[in-house]
Amino acid sequence: MKLRLIAATCLTLLSLKSFSQDKNFYIFICFGQSNMEGNAKVESQDTSAVDSRLQVLQAVDCSERGRVKDNWYTAVPPLARCTTGLTPADYFGRTLVANLPEKIRIGIINVSVAGAKIEIFEKDTYQSYLATAPGWMKGIAAEYGGNPYARLIELAKLAQKYGVIKGVLLHQGESNTNDTLWTGKVKGIYDNLIRDLKLKPKKVPLLAGELVNADQGGACAAMNKIIATLPQTVANSYVISSAGCASSPDHLHFNAAGCRLLGKRYGEAMLSLLGYKLSDTTIH
């Protein structure tokens, strides 16, 4: 009997250990619309030599890529749905891995919906927005169980079993251009994330990237003036400059080079917030 009890205890401890939270596994929540989802074409340099310390928690099943949702994989793009492209989250993660001690791993969660207004992530009212959304957008939301915010929370809670949430990355606004209420809506979503995941806002900054800049002929560049005011509404938030980040011909999306540069800037900003002082960060 004693031997059986000892064996059972050992098995329990081993099970707990396999799901124990690693304080050196930094988790980052990413959400937004098409640029965060990944619109830029993935090139060969984006899929080669991805460090295994950079992981993605798969949000949807991708049988053609051998990925099953709710499992961790080395973060070879795409990091959102199966057919999406390069996202700033790719080079955000690579920048962190390249500059943090080797004992630290990075985990990415990405739930984004192309073309969607910020309202699609509003916890209590997303249904009314989706009700009038085009069929293709409803199809994207359906891949996330019909509720992108709930899927984001589900993945984040799963990730918390393995690591520590260190920040939130947002890239959204094209579909809310000139919406002066945008910052308040973002605050509501961020506050819900903090509350639902039992986080401390002072320890979990929100990084929001500018849209394609005016210097690239950005079709929605006017929205950057509103994004710039986000820190006035969300105390621990920071705006990431898109100046000089090259765009696609539609002037709505970053091309691969622009996406890499913007992602690097997100990474440099987060490194600074984590206490790794760099000489040239684009955070304000």
Residues involved in catalysis? 34, 250, 253
The closest alpha carbon to 154, from 279, 21, 29, 19, belongs to 29
| Residue 93 to residue 107: CA distance in whole angstroms | 8
Beta bridge partners of 107: 27, 55
Contact indicator for 281, 269 with CB cutoff of 8 Å = yes
Structure tokens at 67: 């990925």
In degrees and rounded to multiples of 5, residue 67 shows phi and psi of -115, 140
Angle at 94 between CA 196 and CA 249, to 5 degrees: 95
Cα distances from 63 to residues 66, 68, 178, 279, in angstroms, run 5, 7, 40, 43
Question: Is 78 in contact with 43 (CB distance < 8 Å)?
Answer: no
Residue 29 sits at φ, ψ, to 5 deg, of: -90, 125
**Packing angle, helices 182-196 and 148-159, rounded to 10:** 40
CA distance 141 to 114: 10
Task: Compute, in degrees rounded to 10, the torsion defined by CA atoms 44, 45, 47, 50.
Answer: 160
Sheet bearing 54-57, strands edge to edge: 72-74, 54-57, 105-112, 25-32, 164-171, 206-209, 237-240
